[in-house]
Each structure stands twice: as structure tokens, then as C-alpha cells.
Amino acid sequence: MSLADRVKQRRIELGLTQTEVAEKAGITQQSWASIEDGKTLKPRNIVGMADALQCEPAWLMNGGTFVPVSEVNTRRIPLINYVQAGALATKPAIEAMDGSFEYVLTDMDWSQYTFALKIVGDSMEPDFKAGDVIVVDPEIEPAPGEFVVAKNGEHEATFKKYRPTFFSNGKQHFELVPLNNDYPTMGSADHEIKIIGTMVEHRIYRRKR
């Protein structure tokens, strides 16, 4: 059985149309149809497709014995918004993320407070584009050059590159650096900034031009 056959068979088992499953995976119906027709042999968004089809990416690509995702060592990570992420700076996770939200799946052993965010805007282009999803673990301290979610005094969170600068009175100061030069760098010496968590996964669901 080919990749195209597995994708189509699993979609039909779930009772989904190509349009419905493509939306869940974050791609167009035309792209999905190309995969089922066997024209696309190595989809870039295999993780998103696996999420939509409730199966393992490895099974989609390589076949073998099908194991439902519920029986695999996976866990659900809440996909929250930037207001909820900003609230994590001052509230316990259960309060800040109270409400209804979607989930993404991971098989990594991140902390219980890990959350996901969907990229908005263009301040982190070209590496991070609107629609990409990042997974963030609040219990991991950032290293120089890693990417963090932080609260910069506003209600919403922001996603930037972490760059330590200098120590002062036993405190490590740092800058939040956008990858797009059209946006300003923020420094903790001049702004009240609190690091919320460090990016541990980057999901690219599409690259359309």
C-alpha cells in the first residue's frame, strides 16, 4: 500500500472529506488531492497530516501495522492564544489557560505546563511565518540564540530570539530580537520583560507563495 493509499483509506475511515481533513492539516484541498492522487510523494507537512488523520507520521510514510494515535506514547498540548500566553507570566497555568482551545500532539517528554502558539504577524520572518505552530516549555531555561515567548509589559505575549547581554546586581539582562529587521529589539534593562518559556518544537504546516 502506498502513501496515497494510506492517506485516502484513513480519511475515509474517519468519515472526512478532502476539504475537511485538509483544513485540519493546515493545507489546501488541492494539495491534499495531489497526495491522494500519488503526485506528491514526500509531503512537507506530514506531522499536520498525521494529526488530522489521528495516526503516527511514521505509519503514513512507511506503512506497517497501524496503531491508533490514542495507543501511542503521545500527549495533547493546548494551542492557546497570545493573551492566554501572556497571562502565564502572572497566573498558574490552569487559570491562565482556562477555556476552550484546540490541541496539538507530541511524543516528546516536555513538562506538564507546555503549550503551543500559532505564529501571527511577520516579525520573525523568514524563519517563522504566520500559520506556523511553535511548542513552548516554560520549565526550560533559554540558551543564547534560542527562541522564547515573553511578556513585555503588555497584556499579550511576544515571540522573539533570546540574546543575553550583561549581569547587573546578580541579574542576567537580555534582549528580545526579531528576525525581521523592520521591528525593534527590546532589552530587559529598559523594559519590564518576563520570559514565559522556551520554544522546543517548530511545526511548519505549509509554505505557499
* CA 14 to the chain's CA centroid: 24
CA separation for the pair 8, 22 (Å, rounded): 12
Q: Which residues of the chain have pLDDT under 50?
A: 208-209
pLDDT at 100: 59
pLDDT at 71: 55
CA separation for the pair 136, 197 (Å, rounded): 6
pLDDT tens digit string along 121-162?
Answer: 999 999 999 999 999 999 999 999 999 999 987 668 999 999
DSSP string of 70-103, one letter each residue: GGSS-EEEEEE-HHHHHHTTTS-HHHHT-S--EE
The amino acid occupying position 114 is T
pLDDT at 75: 77
Q: Do the beta carbons of residue 147 and residue 134 sit within 8 Å? A: yes
Q: Where are the alpha helices (H) located in the chain, listed in sequence order?
A: 3-13, 18-25, 29-36, 46-53, 57-62, 82-87, 93-96
Measured CA distances, 93 to 34, 97, 101, 110, 149 (Å): 41, 6, 14, 15, 15
Strands of the sheet containing 75-80, edge to edge, are 102-106, 75-80, 115-118, 133-137, 194-203, 147-151, 157-168, 171-177, 186-187
The amino acid occupying position 61 is M
Cell of 98: 482556562
Q: Do the beta carbons of residue 52 and residue 21 sit within 8 Å? A: yes
pLDDT at 54: 86
pLDDT at 156: 81
pLDDT at 208: 47
Look at the pTM and tell me if it is higher than 0.85: no
CA separation for the pair 44, 208 (Å, rounded): 11
pLDDT at 209: 46
For residue 116, give the nearest of 138, 94, 89 by alpha carbon: 138
3-state secondary structure of 173: strand
Handedness of CA 33, 34, 37, 38 (dihedral sign): negative
